[in-house]
């Protein structure tokens, strides 16, 4: 495991993206050492997926903290114990403080179910339908101080069909996420990705637009 990138994965719920990462790691196609999976919710279904693979799990329950600052400090302390080179937000549904983001800047990735910068925030699928979009998708980005506003590394697109509703569209986007996210994590593990300020560098060159996958 010595040459593998140490990662910590944060989740809040179902964990299907976590599952995709676990499967690729297990198959040997993703060179990472998952040191821990941490949830802010004790009942997150994804925790069991990690336990099934003997990966340490932790819960830092946000309801037990007075405010965002104290929660983020506890979360940070929990993460730091595992000394990760990468923090992966896989459906982690908490707004992070600036101090937390600064501490992890350049080594924290998030996936988001829209073609950023469109539809930051929640309910992205319904909002894409309401806006009459003809395509939608998923993005993976470095996390910076602006919520869902960090520089985008890669995106996957899906066409919106006439008969789509939010659920059918979400299901198709999720399938894309399960390919896209592990791929970007692989690039990071292979040391192909860095962040300088708000500039993503890919293979040593500034990335001028998100990679389409
Ligand atoms: C995904 O849609 C992801 O893009 C968003 O939260 C959802 C998490 O799903 N950030 P899961 O827990 O990975 O199944």
HSE-up (13 A, CA, CB side) for residue 191: 3
- Ligand 1: which of 10, 15, 16 to mutate, judged by most atoms within 8 Å of the beta carbon? 16
Kindly report, residue by residue over 43-93, the tens digit of the pLDDT: 999 999 999 999 999 999 999 999 999 999 999 999 999 999 999 999 999
Find, among 140, 77, 132, 143, the residue nearest to 108 by Cα: 143
Residue 1 has pLDDT above 60, yes or no: no
Question: If you take atom 1 of ligand 1, which residue's CA is the nearest one?
Answer: 91
4 in Cβ contact with 35 (< 8 Å): no
Residue 45, CA atoms < 13 Å, CB-side half-sphere: 7
Contact 149, 139 (CB under 8 A): no
pLDDT band at 26 (very low <50, low <70, confident <90, very high): very high
Q: Can you give the pTM of this predicted structure?
A: 0.97
Q: How confident is the model at residue 3 (pLDDT cuts 50, 70, 90)?
A: confident
Block residue for tokens 């637009």:
209
Atom 14 (ligand 1) nearest CA: 16
212 pairs with which residues across the strands?
Answer: 155
Strands 199-202 and 205-206, bridge-based pairing: antiparallel
């Amino acid at each position: 495991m010595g040459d593998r990138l140490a990662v910590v994965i944060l989740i809040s719920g179902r964990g299907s993206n976590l599952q995709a990462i676990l499967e690729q790691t297990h198959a040997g196609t993703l060179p990472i050492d998952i040191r821990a999976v941490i949830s802010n919710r004790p009942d997150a279904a994804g925790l069991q997926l990690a336990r099934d693979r003997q990966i340490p799990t932790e819960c830092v329950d946000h309801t037990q903290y007075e405010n965002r600052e104290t929660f983020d400090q506890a979360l940070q302390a929990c993460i730091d114990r595992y000394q990760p080179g990468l923090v992966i937000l896989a459906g982690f549904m908490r707004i992070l403080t600036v101090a937390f983001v600064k501490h992890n800047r350049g080594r924290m990735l998030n996936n988001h179910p829209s073609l950023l910068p469109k539809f930051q925030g929640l309910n992205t699928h319904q909002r894409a339908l309401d806006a009459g979009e003809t395509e939608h998708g998923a993005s993976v980005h470095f996390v910076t101080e602006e919520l869902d506003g960090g520089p985008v590394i890669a995106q996957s697109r899906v066409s919106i069909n006439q008969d789509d509703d939010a659920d059918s569209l979400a299901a198709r986007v999720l399938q894309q996420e399960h390919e896209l996210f592990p791929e970007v994590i692989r690039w990071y593990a292979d040391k192909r990705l860095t962040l300088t300020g708000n500039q993503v560098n890919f293979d040593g060159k500034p990335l001028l637009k998100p990679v389409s996958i």
